[in-house]
Homo-oligomer: A and B are copies of this chain.
């Protein structure tokens, strides 16, 4: 089924205890679409880039079956840029430089070909941009998932809440779930967020895994304990891309299907962090993915021998 991903396309420059990436491509839409392309065929992106975005990387994305008709390239403009340095624990980081560049004036235009997409992922962007995309859809997608962050809760909560009303599934981290709901217990936070619109909630906990809530049901997926995290940038977007890529591929919107989506998303995220940037997302094949999923099964499998 058709999948539309809306989000940033960017240059990142990353400094980790293991080395420096130099200027490489990043952004939520880039990671999510390249991750989803391991599952789904019909993927479109809506985003904005400058003249400086490398054509070879656009070609690579197209070769993975990603339609870039909705990516606006601004003549003479510069692509969104972020530079960050990770601390030794790889869980915390400092932003060293952020240049919005063309992203500052982003007015998304969904191309005709993607306005009837069955699956829609609204990456972490200003709520006004997310709403604009929703309004351009000519038919209600089967599933709308949305990512956001604490920053938008601080500066644009009313607009954020308007978008939430139109969303089926929200993905946020545990601190953001607490901030959005005002509840410390994640079970209570989920109930409060369901009142805001979404019927599904994924709480991302990084190295501690992810929780999926729906009505009274809850599913806990672990993260794979890794010997080494080389670069955590984009792991959350890669997770979301693998998740919705699986749903679009299977075309099944259900709790059971979402559980599988979370395992696929977690597997993709575990690949993502093995090298700088999006490198691993275009390198792995079906067999790698299968083997990684088997490790998740081994990691979580137990038999209580209940009579």
A→B interface (CB under 8 Å): 88-90, 184-188, 205, 208-209, 211, 217-222, 225-229, 256, 259-260, 262-263, 290, 293-294, 297-300, 302-306
Determine which of B187, B226, B299 lies in contact with A219 in the assembled complex, contact meaning CB atoms within 8 Å. Answer: B299
Decide: B208 and A225 in contact? CB cutoff 8 A.
no
User: Are A227 and B188 touching (Cβ within 8 A)?
Assistant: yes
12 further A-B contacts with Cβ under 8 Å, apart from A185-B226, A188-B227, A219-B302, are A185-B225, A185-B228, A205-B208, A217-B298, A219-B299, A220-B222, A221-B302, A256-B302, A259-B303, A260-B304, A260-B305, A263-B302
Residues of B within 8 Å of A186, CB to CB, are 225
Q: Which residues of B contact A226 (CB under 8 A)?
A: 185, 187
- Taken together as a complex, chains A and B put the C-alpha atoms of A124 and B290 apart, in Å, by 42
Residues A184 and B218 in contact, CB atoms below 8 Å apart: no
Q: How far is the CB of A243 from chain B (nearest CB, A)?
A: 13
- Quick one: which of A186, A219, A229, A263 has the most chain B CB within 10 A? A219
Nearest B-chain residue to A221, judged by Cβ: B302
A297 contact set on B, CB distance < 8 A: 304
Residues of B near A225 (CB, < 8 A) are: 185-187, 211, 218, 220
Shortest CB distance A183–B (Å): 10
Q: Which residue of B lies closest to A290 (CB)?
A: B306
Chain B residues closer than 8 Å to A227, beta-carbon distance: 185, 187-188
A186 to B90, CA, bound (A): 13
A259: which B residues are within 8 A, CB to CB?
Answer: 302-303
Residues of B within 8 A of A205 (CB): 208
Q: Which of B218, B229, B300 has a CB less than 8 Å from the CB of A185? A: B229
Given the known interface contacts A184-B88, A184-B89, A188-B227, the answer about A302 and B209 at a Cβ–Cβ threshold of 8 Å is: no
Residue of B nearest to A299 (CB): B220
Alpha-carbon separation in the docked complex, A228 to B299 (Å): 28
CA distance A218 to B300 in the complex (A): 9
CB-CB under 8 A from A208, the residues of chain B are 205, 208-209
